Structure 1
Amino acid sequence: MKNGKSNVVPFPRLKERLLERGLESISQKEYKEAAALLRQARRLDHDDGEIGTAYMIALYEAGDYERAKEQGRQMLREGTGDYFEILDLFLMILVQLGEHEEISSTLHALLEEKEAPPDKLDHYEKLLAFSEKRMQMPKPEQEPGQTGRKLFETENQEEQILRVSHLVHENIRPYLDEIRAYIRDPDEHPFIQTLLLNVLKEQGITDEFEVQKLGKAGAVNPAYLLPIFETQLYNLLITRLSRDVEQKNPTLFAQVKTVLDRHFFLLYPFEPEPEDPSLWAAAYYSMGLKLFGQEAYLDKIAMYYSVEPDALLEAVRYLESLEEISLPNL
């Protein structure tokens, strides 16, 4: 060492290379390796918001929630990175850890300062209400040897939906057994079962899951499921109904599409059977007329769509049974 300066010269672009490798590891779901790489990058540049954010994500996805929480708290305090991106991840970690008191204090301070973006305000208010409700509930006693956290700690469907909405950015593998049990239980709500399937799909889960809902059963691999509104039957129905209804009565078509979307969401990953686009186009058209307060002449509609009147009547009754399923309050 001369003149108090180190002779050690860092490798060129070492920080950038560590960041690139860390992000690549995250994309390949190798979260522990990503955290190790990004930890080295952060030592080289503590104030780089992109590195700090990626490091926090890697810790979170690796299940190291305590370190991820401390990383988020430090970044929020120092003002590095995108404030609301860090805040959202920090809040989700607190939800994961069940630290509702800190969620409450954090959001109270944010809302009192009136600095929340308008598009996030409703989300923050709902999360605050959820956490304050959780704070008022008695904490369940943990049985000896039980260290895992449950996905659903309440039968309240509104709270279950809010919980599922946070799973998109969580490591859901600790909850796979509970999710598996939920979606194979025909007595659980089909709407929430679909939400869980979507989360499994979005996280690329390739395990096989048995699904039972609305009198249907089957095994699916979530990662390879088509999105709800991209299936062949759905698109054929939308195309046919758009041609037959939308040109004449756009309002009626909008009503029919709303009902069709709701039904396909409830049924997912299944669809109405038999897979006959003409039959279901006729049925949805008939049902739309009824909901619109108009007379549905089934014989004429059956003739127009070249389907049997009895089959059409049965299909309409099936759609009416789906309409009787009440959706959870959102």
Structure 2
Amino acid sequence: MSKDKNNEEGKIIPFPNLSDKLAEKGMEALQQKQFENSLQYFEQLLDLEPKHFQANFGKAISLVELGLLEEAAYLCEQMLKEGIGEYFEVLQVYASILIQLEKYETIVNTLEVVIQEEKLPPNAAEYFYQLLEFSRKMVEANNKEIAVQSLADSELKELNEALHGDQIERQLFAINKLSRKPDKQSLNLLKNYLKDEEKDPILKSIILQKLAEQNINEKMKIHKFSKEMTVNPSNIKNTYEAPFSQHVIKLLGEKIENDNPSLYDISLQIWSQYLFSLYPFKPNPLNENLWAAAVHFVSCRLNGFAVEPAEVSKKYKVENEQFMKCVDKIFEMEKQLKRND
């Protein structure tokens, strides 16, 4: 056998359209919040095409969702240096990661170079200027070594403005900073946010979760969805693990899991997200069949599966009008989540 023939037999011949298939599978896994799977698909695609924008960008998002922020930041930095993808789209993701890592000096250095080169597009200029100003102030605060336990008035004011602003990255940073071993002033800022009916219900859930992690033993009011209650973060129970929630999950498993495991996984994610948006309130009405039917219907609709309300209501033995009210509540929550993405 000739040497050339041996070489030909040793070549790895990729499947036709393999890159497109890997990109499609990666995006599908990302949308379904299966981040370990999406990371694997995008890494396989990068083995074939190292500068593939969708693969690099998808990998960065997957790393963020898996909590691997340092790796995600490094990847975005390399994309910017090598000109992979739309520069300002990558820069925005890179900046949001740096905020979570509290690397404000890096943000300042990066944005100052971009602004000096007059590269900012008009539709993004205001966002990056505000981010630069915010980061400069945080660098200044860090240089003064302000203790977390006793935040200076100027920093409290800055964090309060961020909390009540409309940039989700800054809001999350403010929550993390204020809830980390909070003093009386920090706690009061968080309490004021919790009892304001107009504020984001998802962020309120995050605040309570953070305070529960700190075992804050103090009563406070929370206002959500036109309801108010007094809670103590130190003894709030996880609604997802409550018997009612588990009964809903059991019903979904009986109706969906064997026929469509992927749809079942999606339904669990939607149910978990809805409960988190309500937290610490419970779903109303407390009817397992109604909520299982609603979650089933929403899962189908969000993922392009054709299904009629009458079909689902029959499967769960509930009335159309009742379970569609629950459907509306879940869709409202989904809109709120998209705002926070």
Q: TM-score, normalised by structure 1?
A: 0.56
Q: Using a 3 Å threshold, how does the CA distance of structure 1 residues 183 and 280 change in structure 2: closer, same or farther?
A: same
> Which amino acid in 1 is paired with 2:205?
T
Structure having the higher Rg? 1
Identity value in percent: 22
Matched-pair contact (CA < 8 Å) for 2:179–2:207 = no
Distance 1:149 1:252, change over 3 A: same
The number of equivalent residue pairs is 209
Flag the 1:329–1:312 CA change in 2: closer, same or farther, 3 A.
closer
Which residue is 1:165 aligned to? 176
Which of 152, 156, 175 aligns to 2:160? It is: 152
- Among 212, 223, 228, which residue is 2:223 paired with? 212
Q: Which runs of 5+ in 1 are unaligned?
A: 1-117
Match of 1:312 among 300, 316, 323: 323
Could you say if the C-alpha distance between residues 167 and 227 of structure 1 is closer, same or farther in structure 2, counting changes exceeding 3 Å? farther
Q: In the superposition, relative to structure 1, how do residues 211 and 277 fare at CA in structure 2: closer, same or farther (>3 Å)?
A: same
- Pairwise CA distance, 1:135: 4.1
Instruction: Find the aligned partners of 1:172 and 1:198 in 2 and give their Cα distance.
Output: 17
* CA–CA separation in structure 2 for the residues paired with 1:310 and 1:239: 23
Do residues 237 (structure 1) and 248 (structure 2) align?
Answer: yes
8 A Cα contact 1:200 1:222, kept in partner: yes
Change (3 A) 1:327 1:180: farther
Gaps of 5+ in 2: 1-66, 74-96, 109-131, 142-151
Letter of the structure 1 residue corresponding to residue 226 of structure 2: G
- The superposition leaves residues 39-91 of structure 1 with CA deviations (integer Å, 9 ceiling, x where unpaired) of xxxxxxxxxxxxxxxxxxxxxxxxxxxxxxxxxxxxxxxxxxxxxxxxxxxxx
The Cα shift of 1:233 comes to: 2.6
Q: Is the 8 A contact 2:104 2:135 kept in 1?
A: no
2:231 counterpart of 1:224: no
Show CA shifts across 1:135-173 (max 9, x none).
Answer: 435999xxxx96883442321321110232345643344
Greater helix share, structure number: 2
How far is the alpha carbon of 1:320 from its aligned partner?
1.9
Choose between structure 1 and 2 for higher RCO, CA contacts under 8 A separated by at least 6 residues: 1
Q: Check 1:172–1:243 CA distance in 2 against 1; reply closer, same or farther (3 A cut).
A: farther
Q: Which residue of structure 1 lines up, in the alignment, with residue 83 of structure 2? A: none
Distance 1:255 1:173, change over 3 A: same
Question: 2:179 touches 2:186 (CA, 8 Å); kept in 1?
Answer: no
- Which AA in structure 1 matches 2:307? A
8 A Cα contact 1:167 1:199, kept in partner: no
2:302 match: 291
Distance 2:154 2:331 in 1: 45
Secondary structure in 2 matching 1:179: helix
- CA 289–119 in structure 1, closer or farther in 2 if over 3 Å, else same: closer
- 1:91-118 per-residue CA deviation (whole Å, 9 max, x = no partner) reads xxxxxxxxxxxxxxxxxxxxxxxxxxx9
RMSD: 3.0
Q: Secondary structure of the residue that 1:270 maps to in structure 2? A: coil
CA distance in 2, matches of 1:325, 1:282: 21
Tell me how far 1:254 sits from its aligned partner.
1.9
Q: Which moved more, 1:302-311 or 1:167-176?
A: 167-176
TM-score, length basis structure 2: 0.54
